[in-house]
Amino acid sequence: MEAPARSPSPHVICEGDWAVLKRGDVFKAVAVVKRRKIVFEKQWFCLDNAIGHAYGTSFEVTSGGSLQPKRTLEEMNPETKEAGTDNRNIIDDGKSQKLTHDDIKALKDKGIKGEEIVQQLIENSTTFRDKTEFAQDKYIKKKKKKYEAVITIIKPSTRILSTMYYAREPGKINHLRYDTLAQMLTWGNVHAGNKMIVMETCAGLVLGAVMERMGGYGSIVQIYPGEGPVRAATSCFGFPKTFFDTLSEFPLSKVASVLSGTFSLTPLPSECEKKTPVAEDKNGSGDDKELSLPEVEMECSPKVAMESGQLEDQEKTEFASDALDDQAKGTTHDKQKKQEEKRRQLIAAAALLKNKDADGLIVASRFHPTSLLLLLLELVAPSRPFVVYCQYKEPLLECYAKLREKGGVINLKLSETWLRNYQILPDRSHPKLLITGGGGYLLTGITVKKESINTSDCLDEPSSKKRKLQEHQ
Amino acid sequence: MSFIEYGDTIKEGDTAIVFLGHESMFPVKVQHGGKTQTKYGVIRHSTDLIGKEYGSKVTCSKGGWVYILYPTPELWTLNLRHRTQILYSTDISLITMMLELKPGSIVCESGTGSASLSHAIIRTIAPTGHLYTVEFHQQRAEKAIEEFEEHKVGHLVTVKTQDVCKNGFGVTNIADAVFLDIPSPWEAVGHAKLALKHEGGRICSFSPCIEQVQRTCLALEEHGFTEITTSEILLRVYNVRTISLQIPDLGKTADGNSSTGVDGGSLSNEDALCPNLQQETIQFKSGVPLKEMVGHTGYLTFATKNLF
């Protein structure tokens, strides 16, 4: 697209948007802000020029850090007419490239376009003409990747963000691979109009994926451990504000009280949480924070300081400062209003949960799943699906056994998906790499009405059959 | 009941899933006066089903019981009557995410086949999206329309009976995503491009054979699609079992040697001393892979149509 569209359209990059930068297979989520320096793949630039262009536009980074839109990505058609048939006469003497490092650096410093550098490298390679057609192709691709920095700006989506997180910060999302997340959304029957319960410690990625699939219809209660929900990845989706109207949050520590009917609305939750037992609770929650929050951080490499990572920190400091403010009893009008709002939300979420009629449960956390499931399944209506993710298989084995014991669930299935990517090129098709193990495991099932007695006889597998199976082992 | 909106009680005209046990279930159309035979005896719709809550246990005439489940696209996929080979939920999940489907998406699909994927798409794009599905087989198309009406999602889908390779999808510049599951997808790539929105969209083609994939990828490239990737997804299901393994009898020399390397074992000296005693075992839980698993369904090729 040449002329930037003037009317703001969802397809046009606007200031304030969340966008994803793509170079090759590498992604990075950024907020579109004018005059902000962004470092991506060892290059720095500003997004100013990108504003007004359509999503999907490719840009070239110029020396001044500005982006120049690049039209079609013309497939390189160099004179591949001349090519060898095999490599019997190609000797690695380290002298096939006549350009020296300094020559190349000089070219780069002159601000010569990447494609021209690649062309020069080809011309100065003595062995290029003797290489097979395929080898020439590979050579060009490799050089292009290095010297031609083309960045595409795309719209965030679950596809993009889950791929990005798995590649960049798998520790932050408990190594939940994107195909596993895809299974969760399907097996959870996540769709518009649902009343979902989500408990996750995946930086808000799973929450975002659920929100995308619900499109602002229905309601979601996010159950959070500790001080508050982490939604760094959720914000990368750039959802409209209306989506957040359907989202509420509720502390995990209070779910049991809702179930037992002892959840009380009389004392201000903010008070009972933070003020009343000042000394004790302050210490308690402080410790909690020390323990739980940095733990998430530890697992991921701090080098890749993503935009979202920064945001997460912002969020945390926000929580922290909230607590501080409370302590310093800065009871300005604003703060009171905020607390009132928080309280209202808490009550609303409790009311949603109290009915125990949720349409589904999605769990993906760093915690042991068994106790979580036994508790949270109480909130779900009968004949509804639930999905639990765990990075490891063993806790799900136990969870499976405990759920069977307790009853109220059927069609329990423990599974894992394998994903294989392929290189498809004429006469050169083969599997690329096998990712396995690291994608995590799922336990899925369907809730049913619980019979008060007779929990021992389970429908799925008569005990006689079970015994037989064991004998076969 | 509708496939896009949960309901609590079973009503006349609903499609409900009768769950007999592990991997054993079937769909039933609930009708006043209707009867359904199961191995546990008969279920009488008027008294046993209508008005009851989904997820309830229903006792059949012979005293056995079943659960009645709300129909989801996933349960439907496992229970529908095959008119063709169908796509299962593992592939469907990846397709849905990689095509970026969500409420409001406009999707083109061909062929409709047994409408396994169609139901999943409709569920995801409801209430504001629309599915245009093309099936050149008259009978299959009609059956699909019938099912969509029965499942109360007819307003979200348009079924066309035509050859997608010759006549395309019958719509232009409208789709956010296109899905192809036909023998020669490369012949439909041009039509897919036309169906997709001017500003772009996503495409997926499902093919069992690598030769089909190669031709499709070439066609996609020729038509200017980018981000062309091909993948394959495999589902591994595990049976949860408690396994007992015997501890080998290492003979008397092992006596008193506590470092037999058996962790948590219940070997005691006393036992080991008696030659006739029962062999000791160690129990543990294991996720045992199924004896056989689906090794290949098809390759999924995804690509993006750009603005230019």
Angle between helices A101-109 and A114-123 (to 10 degrees): 150
Distance of alpha carbon A338 from its chain centroid, rounded?
Answer: 29
CA distance A469 to A462: 11
Which residue's entry shows tokens 């591994």? B236
Contact call for residues A440 and A177 (beta carbons, < 8 A): yes
Contact call for residues A136 and A402 (beta carbons, < 8 A): no
**Rg for chain B (alpha carbons), in Å?**
27
For the stretch A38-41, contacts whose Cβ atoms lie closer than 8 Å and that sit 24 or more positions apart, written own/partner, are: A40/A151, A41/A149
Name which of A167, A242, A158 is nearest A206 in CA terms.
A158
User: Is B254 touching A (CB cutoff 8 A)?
Assistant: no
Smallest Cβ distance to B94: which of A182, A394, A470?
A182
Segments in chain B below pLDDT 70: 252-278, 308
What string of DSSP letters covers A369-425?
HHHHHHHHGGGBPSS-EEEEEESSSHHHHHHHHHHHHH-SEEEEEEEEEEEEEEE--
Residue B67: HSE in the Cβ half-sphere, 13 Å Cα cutoff: 28
Contact call for residues B97 and A181 (beta carbons, < 8 A): yes
CA distance B8 to B10: 7
Smallest Cβ distance to B93: which of A157, A186, A461?
A186
Contact call for residues B122 and B4 (beta carbons, < 8 A): yes
* The predicted structure's pLDDT at residue A330: 53
* The predicted structure's pLDDT at residue A117: 80
B102: which chain A residues are within 8 Å (Cβ-Cβ)?
212-213, 215
* The predicted structure's pLDDT at residue A112: 75
Name which of A414, A213, A214 is nearest B93 in CA terms.
A213
pLDDT mean for each 10 residues of chain A (473 residues): 50 94 94 93 89 90 78 53 79 82 80 78 83 82 79 96 96 97 98 98 98 98 96 97 95 94 65 40 36 35 40 43 47 83 90 95 97 97 98 97 96 96 93 79 96 50 43 42
Q: Determine, for residues B230 and A157 on separate chains, whether the beta-carbon distance falls below 8 Å.
A: no
Q: Determine, for residues B230 and A422 on separate chains, whether the beta-carbon distance falls below 8 Å.
A: yes
Q: Determine, for residues A178 and B210 on separate chains, whether the beta-carbon distance falls below 8 Å.
A: no
Nearest CA in chain B to A423: B230
Name which of A419, A101, A375, A389 is nearest A254 in CA terms.
A375
**Torsion of Cα atoms, B185 then B191 then B194 then B200, to 10°:** 0
Neighbouring CB atoms inside 10 A of A210's CB total 27
**Torsion of Cα atoms, A364 then A369 then A373 then A376, to 10°:** -60
Token pair in block for residue B185: 């997808």
In the chain, the amino acid numbered A120 is Q
Which residue's entry shows tokens 């069609």? A411
pTM of the full predicted structure?
0.84
Sheet hosting strand B24-29, strand order edge to edge: B24-29, B15-21, B65-69, B57-59
B90: which chain A residues are within 8 Å (Cβ-Cβ)?
183, 417
**Rg for chain A (alpha carbons), in Å?**
27
B120: which chain A residues are within 8 Å (Cβ-Cβ)?
186
A411: which chain B residues are within 8 Å (Cβ-Cβ)?
19, 22
Task: Enumerate residues 6+ apart whose C-beta is below 8 A from B87.
Answer: B77, B95, B116, B117, B181, B206, B297
CA distance A79 to A95: 22
A391: which chain B residues are within 8 Å (Cβ-Cβ)?
none
Q: What distance in Å separates residue A173's CA from the closest CA in chain B?
A: 17
Distance of alpha carbon A305 from its chain centroid, rounded?
Answer: 15
CA distance B181 to B164: 11
* The predicted structure's pLDDT at residue A300: 36
CA distance B58 to B72: 19
* The predicted structure's pLDDT at residue A436: 64
**Torsion of Cα atoms, B90 then B92 then B96 then B99, to 10°:** 110
* The predicted structure's pLDDT at residue A111: 72
| Best residue in B9, B65, B102 for a mutation probing chain A (most A CBs within 10 Å) | B102
A213 φ, ψ to 5°?
-70, -20
Neighbouring CB atoms inside 10 A of B41's CB total 15
CA distance B238 to A418: 13
